[in-house]
Structure 1
């Protein structure tokens, strides 16, 4: 990609003025409440169709014993079976089994409008800026579809908690869901390996499970030290990112960043989301090719646009072990 002289000057000035102020990794921004989704944003499949419409979570008796299950299945298993599982692209969720009442529940966190819409914006006629449909949310529903998780994935017992701890966790789920509202597809690092510096963490189904396990640990849950769990990450690799500004600063009336706005629109035009999620794998290959050839990527994170100066290995899907809370890795 070629940058205009104006864009280069803006990037240099931003780098000089903000390098010391930036915090790495960038903290995921929390919000006071969840906004309504734009009417433009439409889901190919309904979000959490069997969950309680009010978000109510059942209250357990304090002394109940509840098994906690780590659930994994290939992404889009309903269409592709185990195909994406062979590529280590898994969806994560958590199941709960109440040993006293026999009640089962599943909770997971995923996109309201499917994955590609969270990864890239739409070009909308008459709009001055890209239109994002990138909200994600928690879903809790009755039952555990054992056949779904067992067919090509796993069901793993990781802990047993009390009803009191479950009720504390229910409050945490509401708080986490109401303040963390945007799905972030990509983790961005400066290199590949255990000593890599992280610029941005992803905020997806796997990170929800990790946060939920951490919350359980603070409430006193003890995890099985013999269990090892891996998590899928869609990772990008870049030198230190450059902050370009938020939507108003770049696309607002009277903005002096017209060159930056033009560069962003040109970039995103290559990745216009499609109506069918089936095309995501094809688009993912196009993204990888683009960042390798052009060595540039624009990331939308915390409602701000960032330039990523891409570097080898550019992009990769990883499936790495992350220890359970309180468990020391071997």
Structure 2
């Protein structure tokens, strides 16, 4: 993760009457994740797909009832393979792991599981839907799911279930306030970590299930939770590598009445290859074509904070890594990463 943001000038490319024009704008790297005053309603077009979001969860990510200040609450890190319901433990062999947190009140015996993940499943958050009129619709929201109980057997046998910390009921109640704010203001799911090169300058940071756990652990450390520093945990990241990104604008600037038709057509053609609602053979063919475009044309259109960016791709282009993160110390902690490539 980047330790210090910096500002650079990138160029907004416009095609005006066949002439390429550059407009200099100031950009902070990494681009800050945009938060909102409150969570907006989801587009009614968007559907969760095979598995509904948080089917047994407490209403609207409601934080559990307050605990007594003197209660002792255990904190657990929990991991399982992504899409386990469909592929079993297959993706675990590639270190593609979903992360969650468990809490157990030792006085009352109440257990809770907390996960932050996609409202409409991963593919829908990563790529837009191309509608019949060749317009793009994004179903990109993530949210907190809280439900009673911890399925010990599931997490322990299929991934990881390990106690990482203890905290008081008073600290948990303060943590609950942070949870509600974090969930209501951070709505976008961001799949990609975009860097200049492995370990190089960070352009865009991911915002996913793993980053939720890291944020939550960091907050717990600030609140005084006591972590077991002997526990070592790794987190999945999917990287894109690119030279300095080029800001293109939002949907109105690109696709609106006064938009750039050439650029709009190229973005639509790029995302056309990532449509999940097609036959499996066609999907494989489209994904191969997309990979060739990324590798040979060195281009990728990124959608971040509901704005479009052009990524001038560079070797190794795309890479999955499995990062080790140190558990935070009590107070004033910074989560640090050590690269453990897959």
Q: TM-score, normalised by structure 2?
A: 0.87
SS of residue matched to 2:315: strand
Do the aligned residues in 1 keep the contact of 2:166 with 2:226 (CA within 8 Å)?
yes
Unaligned runs of 5+ in 2: 1-12
Query: Does the C-alpha gap of structure 1 residues 76 and 163 become closer, same or farther in structure 2, counting only changes over 3 Å?
Result: same
Tell me the residue number matched to 2:164.
158
Q: CA deviation at 1:280?
A: 9.3
Q: Which residue of 2 aligns with 1:241?
A: 245
Query: How many angstroms does 1:54 deviate by?
Result: 4.1
Question: Is the 8 Å Cα contact of residues 48 and 119 (structure 2) preserved in structure 1?
Answer: yes
Contact 2:97/2:235 (8 A) holds in 1: yes
Out of 296, 299, 303, the position equivalent to 2:302 is 299
| Equivalent residue number for residue 262 of structure 2 | 259
Determine helix, strand or coil for the equivalent of 1:22. Answer: strand
- Give the Cα–Cα distance (whole angstroms) in 2 for the partners of residues 67 and 275 of structure 1: 46
Give, in whole Å, the separation in 2 of the partners of 1:198 and 1:288: 22
Query: Any conservation in 2 of the 1:103–1:143 contact (CA below 8 Å)?
Result: yes
What aligned pairs does 1:1-330 form with structure 2 within 5 A after superposition?
6=15, 10=20, 13-14=22-23, 17-18=24-25, 21-44=26-49, 45-57=51-63, 58-126=65-133, 129-193=135-199, 196-255=200-259, 257-274=260-277, 287-326=290-329
Per-residue deviation, 1:113: 0.5
Find the residue that maps to 1:271 and give its secondary structure: coil
Query: Would you say the 8 A contact 1:288–1:314 is kept in 2?
Result: no
Change (3 A) 1:23 1:39: same
Structure with the largest fraction of strand? 2
Q: CA RMSD in A?
A: 2.5
2:302 & 2:127 partners in 1: Cα distance?
Answer: 9
1:285/1:97 CA distance change after superposition, 3 Å: farther
For residues 155 and 279 of structure 2, the distance between their equivalents in structure 1, rounded to whole angstroms, comes to 24
> Which has the higher relative contact order, 1 or 2, with Cα contacts under 8 A spaced 6 or more apart?
1
Asked if the contact 1:120/1:273 (under 8 Å) is kept, the reply is no
Q: Is contact 2:275–2:283 with CA below 8 Å preserved after alignment?
A: no
* Bigger fraction of residues in helix: 1
Q: CA 1:275–1:55 in structure 2 vs 1: closer, same or farther (change >3 Å)?
A: farther
Residues 76 and 162, structure 2, Cα contact 8 Å, conserved in 1: yes
